[in-house]
Amino acid sequence: MSGIERINQESDMSEASYKYNIGFQEMVDFYQKASPKEVQQMENLIKKDSWHGFKRLIKKVLGVDLKG
């Protein structure tokens, strides 16, 4: 078994969450995984400049808790 295979088997590789994690990668992932309804919700939140709503929807769809 290679080192990478062993790490993948033994480790929980999850998204890092840190103070200024603004969510670029999460937005990419969001648009790949979200339903059409969730995409529309996100578009509305962005238009309203709702950072709190943005974070909540990212958490709901991806399970990532953005900080900041």
Distances from the Cα of 47 to the Cα of 7, 26, 39, angstroms: 41, 18, 12
The pLDDT tens digits for 14-63 are: 555 556 556 788 889 999 999 999 999 999 999 999 989 999 999 999 99
- Establish if 67 belongs to a structural domain: no
- Establish if 9 belongs to a structural domain: no
pLDDT (0 to 100) of residue 25: 84
pLDDT (0 to 100) of residue 32: 94
Domain that holds residue 39: 16-62
- Establish if 56 belongs to a structural domain: yes
- Establish if 43 belongs to a structural domain: yes
Query: Per the structure, how many domains does the chain have?
Result: 1
- The answer to whether the pTM exceeds 0.85 is no
Q: Please tell me the distance from the alpha carbon of residue 60 to that of residue 65, in angstroms, as a whole number.
A: 9
